[in-house]
Amino acid sequence: MATKMLMPKLSDTMEEGVILKWRKKEGEKVKAGEIIADIQSDKADMEQEAYDSGVLLKIFPKEGDGVKVGAPLVIIGKEGEDISALLAESTSAAPATLKQESVSVAAAPSIIPVPASVPTPAAVPVVNGDTRLRLEADSGGQTRIKASPLAKKIAQEKNIDLRTVSGSGPFGRIVKADVESRSGTTTMPRKVLAPLQTKEIPLSMMRKTIAKRLLESKVTIPHFYLTIEMNMRRAIDFRSSLIEITGTKISYNDIVMKAVALALRENPKANSSFMGDKIVQHGRVDVSVAVAIDEGLITPVIRNADQKTIAEISTETKELAKRAREGKLKPEEFTNGTFTVSNLGMYDIENFAAIINPPEGAILAVGTIVEKPVVENGQIVVGHTMKVTMSCDHRVVDGAIGAQFLQSFKRLMENPLVLVL
């Protein structure tokens, strides 16, 4: 008997998927478990398997179509089987496929069209190797110098020939500053930059979901923020020793992940989620790590991070980040974390506040290590410090709970040998 295969819900937040590629054509035989299509969900690209064996009697959406969860994908049955009843069901139902239309300026009349090119100013003559003001002929055939009235007045008072002055205004126009600096060094020629182009980029399924979830998080979750600074001198030496001993390129983020996991064990109330009519204090420490990919941000999860060594965390994080950028993560690898770490230190960001990834109760934003004077034993010395900011859901994590977590985290980072004991 022919069966209709529907668009599955490939992640907990998925509402629609896009057909990237059909692996099979209508009329071809398929086996249960065989890959028939590549589908883009709001989190990653997935391979879709056939649920039954038989012949692919009907394919509903085309490549590039967006399909709502629960909408028909294909009909699989016996060769020559009558599927008119199933087709009638699909026809009577409301359309659930949304063609991914390319956006263009011509298709959007409300958008002001951008000129294909901008007028190029006439060539600027060069005098003694220096760019000089362009001279124009007026209606009487006389040469006219482009200069502001104030610049002309100052030039007349100081007896300066404007033909020898380099203009820094629009299209080489001489302004007040050009004349006043005439007695000094010659100004450098202005570099003309190519005009930029306006682009419209359609939202991917992932970017749509990121926009929706972050808006919901910021609007519905009462955020508050706690920032703490720590001395990283011992952590720097600790990392160097780990790399030398293990032969693995340990990052500061790997150390941060381990310290976060142990600090959550010490402060289990910070490892909680608000679930409507109750607070769930998790009996597991699954730390998510924010990974930037082309289409936005995804948070692979290090399961039981408190039970793993720093080297194990490092290896697993690198593998998950690699597959995240390739779009090959499975849903169970980026969902159901209990706490998130977001690190922008590699971009020289000293301090920032992140948006909570619901239903988690907090997220830790990690900044870069800064070299600056610090006081040690009453003496000012060159030190290395790092700031972190904890964004807390005030329904779950009170100020004291967040502060105690950060105290534990700071103690672990400033005494990193504890992390391997």
Any catalytic annotation for residue 384? no
226, two tokens: 């706690």
* Distances from the Cα of 340 to the Cα of 23, 256, 271, 289, 402, angstroms: 37, 11, 10, 6, 14
Contact 395, 221 (CB under 8 A): yes
What three-state secondary structure class fits 323?
helix
Q: For residue 255, count other CB atoms closer than 10 A to its CB.
A: 22
Task: Outline where 250-357 has alpha helix (H).
Answer: 252-266, 310-325
The contacts of residue 145 (CB under 8 Å, 6+ apart) are: 133, 135, 162, 163, 174
Catalytic-labelled residue, pool 223, 282, 384, 394: 394
| Calpha distance 414→308 (Å, rounded) | 20
The contacts of residue 278 (CB under 8 Å, 6+ apart) are: none
Element containing residue 239 per DSSP (H, E) = helix 233-246
Give the torsion sign (CA, 239, 240, 245, 247).
positive
* Distances from the Cα of 109 to the Cα of 103, 112, 200, 201, 301, angstroms: 11, 7, 14, 17, 44
What three-state secondary structure class fits 229?
strand
User: Cα angle vertex 356, ends 355, 360, to 5°?
Assistant: 170
Q: For residue 357, count other CB atoms closer than 10 A to its CB.
A: 21
As annotated, the active-site residues are: 394
